[in-house]
Chains A and B, each alone.
Chain A
Amino acid sequence: VAIHLKVNGVAHDVDVEPDAPLLWVIRDELNLTGTKFGCGIGACGACTVHLNGKAVRSCSVPVEAAANAEITTIEGLGGSALNPVQQAWIDHQVPQCGYCQSGMIMAVSAFLATNPAPTDEQLAAAITNICRCGTYARIREAVQSLAQPGKSPLRADSRGRGILACAPGDAPIECAQTGVSVPEGGAR
């Protein structure tokens, strides 16, 4: 019995067991590998996707529960461009190994849709994904920049690469608002 899925606007019929984890159907049936396996029990959030706009941990969602829903994965989040969260992640140089960041970006983008200007406490209560590289300080900073457009201290060019506008050897200054130290001149 085929299960009907709609992923990033594209319809698929998949022939799998109704209780197959949505994560593995996305990865291994549909070959969309941006969604990651981290723990398999919904504890880390690496597998987060949107189900009708809500963040879910796809490793713990049986595929039948996603039938006929609008599923969005990291590949479909920005359409042909980048979602503002993805752009903020580049501007603030958030990812390190990057493995958790698909899930992190999906969780944050769904949360910001419900609360566009969260406090740090609200953000921490809502986003319980694990990042083993410890990018949390930059996640906070990136989310705050989205809540306050124009305040972003870092600027990327159109290809997502760039250089901070500052001279080498500048003493770092503390950016009280974000709690992250940025080079003097970088805030221009």
Chain B
Amino acid sequence: MMTTRRKFLIGTATTAGVLIVGYGFWPSHRRERADAMDAKPGERFLASWIKLADDGTITAVIPHCDMGTGIFTVLAQMAADELDADWNKVRAETAPADPLFANGALAEGFLLDSRNMTGDSIPTFLQGAATSTFRKLAEIVKVQVTGGSSAVRMTGVYGMRVAGAAVREMLIQAAGARMNASPDAFHTEMSRVIHTSSGKSFTYGELAAEAVSYSPSSHPKLKSKNDFKLIGKPVHRLDIPSKVNGSAKYGIDTQVPNLCFAALRISPVFSGKLVSVDESPIVQNRGVKKVVKLDDAVVVVADRFWRARDAVNALQPVFDNSANGSVSSKTIRDRQNDALSNGPIKADTKTGNGAEALKNVTVIERVYNVPYLAHAPMEPVNATAIYKTDGTLEVWSGTQDGLGARHFCAKAARLKMDQVTFHLTPSGGGFGRRLPEFWNFLTYTVKTAMAMPGTPVKLVFTREQEMQHDYYRPNVTSRFRATLAQNGLPSAWVNDYTSDGTVNDDAHIFYGIPNQAYGMAKVEAHVPTGPWRSVEASWHGFFIESFVDELAHEARRDPVDFRRGLLQEKARHLATLNLAAEKSGWGTPLPAGHGRGVAITECFGTIVAHVAEVEINDAGAVKVHRFTTAVDCGYPVNPDGFRAQMQSAVVFGLSAVLFGEITIDKGAVVEENFPDYNMVHLAECPSFIGIHFHESDAPLGGAGEPGVPPVAPAVVNAIFAATGTRIRELPIKNHSLSKA
């Protein structure tokens, strides 16, 4: 998804000149509309994303979803720092799913990022026009997405900080008018504007109503790093109190009067069609209201969820699976091997002599594979909708894009955008499952609601439906060929991998190898796929860092030292690697049966190196004892929050590398629920996860995803160190291991 959306933004930006339509950063008519839509009594918008109330409460209005990564707090923190706000007066809210709140900062971030630019590179005289252009772009593509580890580094950098600084300037202007003094005569501190020479001060609350009459600047003066008071501090998360007492309301908790509940059974074989279903076994069931037959699913609506679920499970729907009913994981794998062996392979980037460099030398060849993976967020996907008798539709759901979801629901219902209201709720985990284009739960809910005009319906996927009707991380096979030069370092690196048709930028290595070539073999399958936390990097990270480790072994070099030799031109990567090695005690003796493995990857602007320490016991079981992590993300805006994301990435990655596997048989997913799609529990969580930052001057990098890709190779490399056994196909549970 992100690739497509991003390419669209970039493509559109080439016509940016004609989109400069001449309205300012936050013209008054937009501000008035925002107030009408989202301001409570005594509260008003001063700039995009920031409301200020008479009592001094500052609300950051966040154009993202809260799926657990803490971005509501961090984005509020960034705005509050520029505002010199009293943190105790700061709140965060979800922005309405309306074009008025489309995320122009995200558009700007993606665009600049794609050109390796930063906001500073836009000339000052163009910044106002540029800002409105980005906002217009975001409206056109209806973007409020949360993905690509983009919230802090894009919305925060290009949106929240700028808005906070602009509001601060407006408050100073208001104070200046009161005292008939120049703005230079004031400074700000703890939500007060202070007249520096006299010490007279005004609270932000008392200036709020007057500050509205000034226009927010599109290029206010931003703080330098040394002046930060909140950025860089481990501020507590604003949402956590509501998440320890049961009061946080997720999509599944939506309550509206006269609500009915829906459960469904989708064709087990993807894209199978519903042929018939005999309703007679359940028509007498207590509470059953309606059976809705859809193209590839049957839905039962009842007055309570368990009644709907039990009723739909009692049905024997007949599906036409003729198209894909014989596909299995094995047949897909056979096709991948065939494509890699016999082509066609689409050539991607090449450096130096590319594959030519492999002629007449000893070639080291290895093949790796990862299976399909489900996202398995703890809150199964769900939505609530009512198709009202006046022809409008109201929807509640946790998705990774509120505005995009509203547009999607309108299309599914064949209504106009302004006939649809969408309420974005917090999500019990996302990991990519709730990104745009992966919204089967919205489609089924909207169609069910349309079949029952006037009745609000909450449709909840059972865990079994969630697991069997996800958009999976793809099953990918990757083949490497390399050769070592006299100095023991690789002189050629050739990589061909399978894909559904897109070329993967994350296949490209950052190591200094003179001759490189990449190729993509297109292998299509009927299994729906989608972005899974860290997307392409999640599989290419495993492939690349496994193969680098194998080359180090072939060269009889220490794996850390070998990588150092390839990172001489990459100061940040080298420093991050060295930090992980040092903090992990790399090279110090370990007990028998233990091994250490290292891996380093970069994605979403952040470099992460993990050192895993594992033990293989006498029964051949793997225990991951320790993870030492080094990170270069520029600097962490909220160090404790960033650590939480790294801890999370380690556990998420471990579940995948140890257990994760979605198996296809007879065209359908075999795994049904958590016992067979197993997860890391407390017992399997490493007893030590130590996280260390290498601070640099690089632009801020993402936090949610970059910790995932190096987990699998670090563990597999550690198993090799402990046992001499090289695992090239995940997950580890499918391999029998023994002590070296």
Choose from B228, B236, B305 the contact partner of A161 (Cβ within 8 Å).
Answer: B236
A10-30 residues with Cβ-Cβ distance < 8 A to B are 16-17, 20-21, 24, 27-29
List of A residues within 8 angstroms of B665 by Cβ: none
Q: Mask for B201-237, Cβ within 8 A of A = 1, else 0?
A: 0000000000000000000000000001001111111
Give chain A nearest CB distance to B458 CB in angstroms: 9
Is A75 within 8 A of B378, CB to CB?
A: no
Contacts of A74 in B (CB 8 A): 245-246
B253 at the interface (CB under 8 A from A): yes
Given contacts A41-B463, A74-B245, A100-B378, contact A134 B240 (CB under 8 A): no
Contact A135 B647 (CB under 8 A): yes
The 0/1 profile, CB within 8 Å of B marked 1, for residues 156-188 of chain A is 100111111010110110100001110100100
Nearest A residue to B255 via CB reads A31
Whether, in the assembled complex, B376 has its beta carbon less than 8 Å from a beta carbon of chain A, the answer is yes
What does DSSP make chain A's interface, helix, strand, loop or mixed? loop
Asked if B377 and A138 sit within 8 Å, CB to CB, the answer is: no
Shortest beta-carbon distance from B694 to chain A in Å: 11
Q: Which B residues are in CB contact (< 8 Å) with A161? A: 87-88, 236, 238, 241
Mask, B660-693, CB within 8 Å of A = 1, is: 0000000000000111000111110111111111
Contact B236 A139 (CB under 8 A): no
Smallest CB separation, B282 vs chain A (Å): 14
Q: Are A36 and B428 in contact (CB under 8 A)?
A: yes
- The A-contacting residues of B in range 608-640, CB under 8 angstroms, are 635, 639-640
Task: From B255, B305, B379, give the contact of A36 (CB < 8 A).
Answer: B379
Of B236, B376, B430, which contacts A156 at CB under 8 A? B236
Residues of A within 8 A of B431 (CB): 132
Distance of A98 Cα from B425 Cα, bound (Å): 13
B247 at the interface (CB under 8 A from A): yes
Bound together, the chains give a CA A139 to CA B650 distance in angstroms of 15
B252: Cβ under 8 A from any A Cβ: yes
Number of A-B contacts (CB under 8 A): 236
The answer to whether the Cβ of B133 comes within 8 Å of any Cβ in the partner chain is no
Question: Once the chains bind, are A136 and B463 in contact (CB under 8 Å)?
Answer: no
Inter-chain contact A89/B240, CB cutoff 8 Å: yes
In whole angstroms, how far apart are the Cα atoms of A82 and B245 in the complex?
Answer: 8
Q: How many residues of B contact A (CB 8 A)?
A: 81
CB <8 Å contact, B376 and A33 = no
Tell me if B639 and A73 are in contact (CB < 8 A).
no
| 8 Å CB interface, B251-304 against A | 252-253, 255, 261, 286, 304
Docked pose: A104 CA to B662 CA in angstroms: 26
Is A169 within 8 A of B682, CB to CB?
no
B674 touching A97 by the CB < 8 A rule?
no
Which of B47-55, B63-71, B405-413 has 4 or more CB atoms under 8 Å from chain A?
B63-71
With A163-B233, A168-B233: A137-B689 Cβ-Cβ less than 8 Å = yes
Closest B residue to A130 by beta carbon equals B679
Contacts of A132 in B (CB 8 A): 376-378, 429, 431, 652, 679
Task: Say yes or no: A163-B246 contact (C-beta < 8 A), given A40-B462, A97-B428, A137-B685.
Answer: no
Q: CA separation between A180 and B639, bound complex, in Å?
A: 13
Interchain CA distance A163-B426 in the complex, whole Å: 24
- Residue among B87, B228, B379, B639 making CB contact with A99, cutoff 8 Å: B379
Please, which residues of chain A bring their CB within 8 A of the CB of B236?
90, 93, 154, 156, 160-163
- B244-A105 in contact (CB<8A): yes
A7 within 8 Å of B by Cβ? Answer: no
Q: Which residue of B lies closest to A140 (CB)?
A: B682
Interface residues in B163-206 (C-beta closer than 8 Å to A) = none
Give chain B residues whose Cβ lies under 8 Å from the Cβ of A73: 246
Task: For residue A127, give the distance in angstroms from its CB to the closest CB of chain B.
Answer: 5
Distance in angstroms between the alpha carbons of A73 and B245 in the assembled complex = 9
* Set of chain A residues within 8 Å of B252, measured between Cβ atoms: 33, 36-37
Residue of A nearest to B467 (CB): A39
Q: Given A97-B429, A98-B68, A169-B232, are A36 and B378 also a contact pair (CB < 8 Å)?
A: yes
Residues of B within 8 A of A164 (CB): 233-234, 640
Contact of A138 among B238, B247, B644 (CB under 8 A): B644
The answer to whether the Cβ of A65 comes within 8 Å of any Cβ in the partner chain is no
Which of A33, A73, A164, A186 has the most C-beta atoms of chain B within 10 angstroms of its own C-beta? A33
Given the contacts A32-B246, A90-B244, A95-B243, A179 and B378 also touching, CB distance less than 8 Å: no
Q: How far is the CA of A138 from the CA of B243 in the complex (A)?
A: 15
The reply to whether the CB of A102 lies closer than 8 angstroms to some CB of chain B is: yes
With CB as the reference atom, state the residue of chain A lying closest to B641.
A93
Asked if B380 is at the interface (CB within 8 A of a chain A CB), the reply is: yes
Q: Cβ of B643: which chain A residues have Cβ within 8 Å of it?
A: 172, 181
- A93 and B651 contacting across the interface, CB-CB below 8 Å: no
Contact A78/B245 with A24-B304, A172-B691 known, Cβ cut-off 8 Å: yes
B239 interface contact, C-beta 8 A:
yes
Per-residue CB contact flags for chain A residues 91-116 toward chain B (1 = under 8 Å, else 0) read 00111111111100100000000000
B712 at the A/B interface (Cβ < 8 Å)?
no
**When the two chains form their complex, are residues B305 and A101 in contact, meaning their CB atoms are under 8 A apart?**
no
A44 CB within 8 Å of chain B: yes
A128 within 8 A of B: yes
List B contacts of A37 (CB < 8 A): 252, 380, 460
A96 with B68: CB separation less than 8 A? yes
Chain A to chain B: the 3 pairs with minimum beta-carbon distance, closest first: A34-B246, A134-B651, A99-B428
A sample of 12 cross-chain residue pairs with beta-carbon separation below 8 angstroms, ordered by A number, consists of A33-B253, A36-B428, A86-B244, A93-B240, A94-B240, A95-B68, A95-B244, A98-B242, A99-B68, A160-B240, A161-B88, A169-B695
Q: Which residues of A contact B (CB under 8 A)?
A: 16-17, 20-21, 24, 27-29, 31-41, 43-44, 46, 73-75, 77-78, 82, 86, 89-90, 93-102, 105, 120, 123-125, 127-140, 154, 156, 159-164, 166, 168-169, 171-172, 174, 179-181, 183, 186
Q: Which residues on B are within 8 Å of A, measured CB to CB? A: 67-70, 87-88, 228, 231-250, 252-253, 255, 261, 286, 304-306, 309, 376-380, 426-431, 460, 462-464, 635, 639-641, 643-644, 647-652, 673-675, 679-683, 685-693, 695
